[in-house]
């Protein structure tokens, strides 16, 4: 059961480790005597040889490893992303290192350092707020990377993201179509472009329909979501008693919104309609159907991984800036 190395095979076959390496990597095939080659291959198989990762990686300076940095693995959105990335990446015979930032910039930096020290071949980043310096630094090195979900506007950085303006724009359009006229928007008080895009989408759709947004936007800072969402909703209902729709800009906000609705027996959707950004398994256990915007996660992850892999392989100078639209899934 001892681990088998090149030199074990070499000894057994009475050849040098170099030759074994050439054979097992199918190099120099036109030079090596076919019988020698097959003899070596047979021995390798019999001894169940697998190349030592560290030796190989040190020599090749490739680790076949992708680093994935996200907000919080325990959040279903992150977990979903992680799982899809895991699948895509393993199809390329690579593996994923995952790290959670808890939205803290210092953790983000720390993880980038840890991962690059470990020589990951590429990085998939869902950056924290105010991490642009770090992104810029990464961009200037030549480690392949791509931002996902979150990004920075008007910058040359690589990204693959959801169309966040479209997200809330279509959600609001649907609410209006459903006859809603006083639409509250509950979002995060966080300095991330993709979140402010969601506000912009909401505002644009309302403006187009001549719907006032005065005092209809509530931003919660996310330290105590349960309480904050409750307060936000109550403030909203106080300043606008006839609010007839609530649009939540993330999955967690929606969760707490629904909890509130249950706790306070809101009449959903008769009096007030609830609409969500992000799919969640549990919408179905809310008594009435929830319409939600489904992010194109599969496609985003696919594009991101494909881009990284091609970059890692060819070391080209290509960049990527993709904004992908998802779909509004109507609660039935």
Partner DNA sequence: AAATTTTGTTTAATCGTTTAAATAATTATA
Partner DNA sequence: TATAATTATTTAAACGATTAAACAAAATTT
Report the nearest approach of a second copy to the CB of residue 7 (Å): 15
Nearer to a second copy, 193 or 256 (CB): 256
Interaction partner, residue 314 (DNA, a second copy, none; CB < 5-8 Å by kind): none
Residue 153 is a binding residue for DNA (CB under 7 A) = no
Q: What are phi and psi of 107, to 5 degrees?
A: -65, -40
The residues near 108 (Cβ < 8 Å, ≥ 6 apart) are: 69, 101, 127, 128, 131, 134
Give how many residues touch a second copy by CB under 8 A. 46
Interaction partner, residue 287 (DNA, a second copy, none; CB < 5-8 Å by kind): a second copy
Give the residue among 307, 303, 270 at the shortest CA–CA distance from 162: 303
- Other Cβ atoms less than 10 A from the Cβ of 129: the count is 16
Residue 247 is a binding residue for DNA (CB under 7 A) = no
Residue 168 and residue 247 in contact, taking contact as beta carbons nearer than 8 Å: yes
Interaction partner, residue 211 (a second copy, DNA, none; CB < 5-8 Å by kind): none
Q: Which of 79, 129, 323, 324 binds a second copy (CB under 8 A)?
A: 79
In eight-state DSSP terms, residue 68 is E
Residue 164 and residue 197 in contact, taking contact as beta carbons nearer than 8 Å: yes
Report the nearest approach of a second copy to the CB of residue 261 (Å): 8
Q: Tokens in use for 294?
A: 């489904």
Interacting residues with a second copy between 112 and 141 (CB under 8 A): 113-114, 117-119, 140-141
Give the residue among 124, 122, 128 at the shortest CA–CA distance from 107: 128
Residue 245 and residue 184 in contact, taking contact as beta carbons nearer than 8 Å: yes
> Which one of the spans 27-35, 69-77, 151-159, 191-199 is the region binding DNA (CB under 7 A)?
27-35
Is residue 115 packed enough to be buried (19+ CB in 10 Å), middle (13-18) or exposed (0-12)?
A: buried
The residues binding DNA (CB under 7 A) are 3, 5-7, 14-19, 21-22, 24-25, 27-28, 30-33, 36, 51-52, 54-56, 58-61
Per CB under 8 A, residues contacting a second copy are 1, 50, 52-55, 57-58, 61, 63, 72-74, 76, 78-80, 82-83, 86, 95-100, 113-114, 117-119, 140-141, 255, 258-259, 261-263, 280-282, 284-287
């Amino acid at each position: 059961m001892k681990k088998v190395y090149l030199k074990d095979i070499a000894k057994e076959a009475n050849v040098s480790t170099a030759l074994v390496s050439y054979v097992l990597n199918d190099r120099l095939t036109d030079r090596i005597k076919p019988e020698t080659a097959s003899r070596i291959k047979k021995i390798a198989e019999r001894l169940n040889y697998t190349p030592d990762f560290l030796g190989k990686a040190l020599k090749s300076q490739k680790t076949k490893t992708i680093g994935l940095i996200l907000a919080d693995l325990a959040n279903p959105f992150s977990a979903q992303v992680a799982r899809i990335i895991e699948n895509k990446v393993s199809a390329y015979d690579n593996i994923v290192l995952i790290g959670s930032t808890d939205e803290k910039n210092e953790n983000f930096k720390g993880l980038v350092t840890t991962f690059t020290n470990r020589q990951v071949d590429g990085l998939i980043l869902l950056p924290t707020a105010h991490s642009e310096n770090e992104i810029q630094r990464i961009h200037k090195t030549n480690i392949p990377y791509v931002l996902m979900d979150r990004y920075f506007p008007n910058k040359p950085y690589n990204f693959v993201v959801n169309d966040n303006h479209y997200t809330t724009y279509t959600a609001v359009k649907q609410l209006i179509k459903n006859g809603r006229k006083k639409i509250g928007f509950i979002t995060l008080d966080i300095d991330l472009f993709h979140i402010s895009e969601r506000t912009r989408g909401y505002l644009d759709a309302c403006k187009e329909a001549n719907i006032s947004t005065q005092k209809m936007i509530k931003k919660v800072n996310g330290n105590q979501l349960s309480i904050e969402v409750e307060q936000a909703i109550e403030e909203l209902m106080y300043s606008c008693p006839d609010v007839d729709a609530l649009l939540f800009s993330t999955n967690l906000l929606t969760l707490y919104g629904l909890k509130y609705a249950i706790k306070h027996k809101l009449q959903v959707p008769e009096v007030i309609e609830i609409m969500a950004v992000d799919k969640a398994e549990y919408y179905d256990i809310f008594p009435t159907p929830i319409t939600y915007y489904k992010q194109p996660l599969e496609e985003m992850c696919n594009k991101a991984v494909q881009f990284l892999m091609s970059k890692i392989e060819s070391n080209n100078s290509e960049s990527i800036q993709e904004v992908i639209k998802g779909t509004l899934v109507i609660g039935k």
